[in-house]
């Protein structure tokens, strides 16, 4: 167990996210069973570091030479130079200016015997992020040495965007009867061709506001779901090619609530659009006692007011025994107790929760890499599924546990 703790300790959350006040008052819910999508508001929360172990607090994140994951006896090298696979590099056109003469490394193959493909891909995403930052820095240094007439902002895209806080976050869109799109669920980009979401987001039955029951697009790279631009960039709308619902899911029951959406391939990742990693172990204690949920869902349950801006909030991970004790009084034919493939999260004091509209979004922990203009990378531990009411005291939300479906996900997303 000590080995596992050491292996996973660097995955501790290091950021504090801002949220709004959740104002549900004394709302009476006529239909207490509500699919989650989350109002991500809270009255207050403490600094995340305050709840962390001191030894984890002192981890050196600026140069993460290794990251351990997968089996407890396997070590993943993040630095491409330490990978067994020989890599090649591409040299930029030779110039008389040393600042403009540098090489662009080819991407290593991080696969190895005994290594989960999802773990290898996670390390690949981290390498790509760091490589983009390194190249951007070198290009900027080169530009500083050039005459004014030779300065080309198009080399770096002409933007000074803020770091992407949740660049894997996507909105699942249905074609509206009037207007363009209605985003009723969230999802997470996990590869260049797949997003992860909830199974109940595969259809929107009996909704007269949409043309078809099945969603058609995934919108990525947008903090404001109704704006045309996000950080001066157009969001990416990718067509959904197919939806793969877990074979054990049976609507409207609330078990096995997980699905994959294959989308048009994302040709390149940026600070605003890049995949998240997947947590492949049942035990999440090495990640800390809290996680972050995100979505564009309901922020005021009394008025059903939604937020066009992506909301984020930190919730506590609630153990299954306590969660069962709190929620079992609401047992019915659709759900009657937390099972192994579900995980609970929330604030037992109330006031902070996921709510309608954010189903399918991630429950995630930020990987503590060095801060970068190329965005953050998170590791997903759960998929927003359902809850009883919204932000009620002693009513944690229920999420689909990603680790329980890692074999199924890998067999589809990274099919050899």
Q: From the candidates 222, 257, 353, 358, which is the catalytic residue?
A: 257
Q: How far apart are CA 5 and CA 2, in angstroms?
A: 5
Residue the block writes with tokens 């390498």: 127
168, 200, 246, 341: the active-site residue: 200
Give the integer Cα–Cα distance in Å for 362 and 275.
12
Known active-site residue 246:
no
How far, in Å, are 89, 382, 397 from residue 81 at the CA level? 12, 33, 43
203, with CB counted inside 10 A (0-12, 13-18, 19+), is: middle
HEC sequence for the chain: CHHHHHHHHHHCCCCCCCCECCCCCCCCCCCCEEECECCCECCCCCCHHHHCCHHHHCCCCCCCCEEECCCCCCEEECCHHHCCCCCCEEECCCCCCHHHCCEEECCCCCCCCCCCHHHHHHHHHHHHHHHHHHHHHHHHHHHHCCCHHHCCHHHHCCCCCCCCCCCCEEEEEEEECCCCEEEEEEEEECCCCEEEECHHHHCCCCCCCECCCCCCEEEECCCECCCCCECCECCEEEEEEEEEECCCCCCCCCCCCCEEEEECCCCCCCCCCCCCEECCCCCCHHHCCEEEEEECCEEECCCCEECCECEEEEEEEECHHHHHHHHHHHCCCCCCCCCCCEEEEECCCCCCCCECCCCCCEEEEECCCCCCCCCCCEEEEEEEEEEECCCCCCCCEEEEEHHHHHHHHHHHHCCC
200 catalytic residue (yes or no) = yes
Answer whether 328's CB lies under 8 Å from 352's CB. Answer: no
**Which residue is catalytic, options 188, 202, 230, 359?**
359
Q: Is 79:63 a contact under the CB 8 Å cutoff?
A: no
Based on the residue annotation, tell me whether 271 is a catalytic residue of this protein. no
Q: Which residues are catalytic?
A: 200, 257, 359
């Amino acid at each position: 167990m000590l080995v596992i703790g050491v292996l996973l300790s660097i995955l501790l959350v290091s950021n504090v996210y801002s949220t709004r006040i959740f104002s549900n008052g004394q709302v009476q819910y006529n239909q207490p069973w509500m699919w989650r999508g989350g109002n991500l508001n809270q009255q207050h929360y403490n600094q995340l570091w305050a709840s962390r172990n001191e030894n984890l607090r002192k981890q050196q994140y600026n140069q993460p030479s290794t990251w351990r994951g997968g089996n407890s006896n396997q070590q993943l090298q993040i630095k491409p130079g330490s990978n067994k696979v020989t890599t090649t590099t591409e040299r930029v056109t030779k110039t008389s200016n040393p600042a403009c003469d540098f090489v662009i490394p080819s991407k290593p193959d991080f696969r190895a015997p005994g290594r989960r493909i999802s773990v290898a891909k996670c390390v690949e995403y981290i390498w790509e992020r760091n490589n983009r930052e390194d190249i951007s820095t070198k290009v900027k240094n080169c530009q500083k040495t050039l005459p004014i007439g030779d300065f080309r902002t198009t080399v770096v895209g002409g933007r000074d965007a803020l770091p992407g806080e949740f660049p894997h976050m996507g909105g699942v869109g249905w074609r509206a009867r009037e207007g363009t799109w209605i985003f009723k669920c969230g999802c997470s980009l996990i590869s260049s061709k797949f997003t992860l979401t909830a199974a109940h987001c595969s259809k929107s039955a009996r909704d007269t506001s949409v043309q078809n029951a099945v969603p058609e697009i995934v919108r990525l790279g947008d903090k404001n779901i109704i704006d045309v631009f996000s950080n001066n960039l157009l969001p990416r709308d990718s067509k959904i090619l197919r939806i793969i619902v877990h074979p054990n899911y049976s609507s409207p029951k609330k078990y096995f609530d997980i699905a994959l959406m294959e989308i048009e391939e994302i040709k390149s990742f940026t600070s605003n659009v890049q995949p998240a990693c997947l947590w492949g172990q049942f035990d999440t204690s090495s990640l800390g006692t809290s996680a972050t949920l995100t979505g564009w869902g309901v922020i005021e349950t009394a008025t059903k007011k939604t937020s066009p801006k992506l909301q984020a909030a930190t919730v506590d991970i609630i153990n299954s025994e306590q969660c069962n004790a709190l929620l079992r009084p609401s047992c019915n034919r659709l759900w009657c107790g937390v099972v192994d493939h579900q995980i609970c999260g929330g604030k037992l004091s109330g006031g902070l929760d996921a709510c309608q509209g954010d189903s399918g979004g991630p429950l995630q922990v930020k990987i503590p890499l060095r801060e970068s203009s190329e965005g953050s990378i998170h590791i997903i531990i759960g998929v927003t599924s359902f809850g009883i009411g919204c932000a009620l005291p002693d009513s944690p939300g229920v999420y689909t546990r990603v680790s329980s479906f890692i074999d199924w996900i890998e067999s589809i997303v990274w099919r050899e």
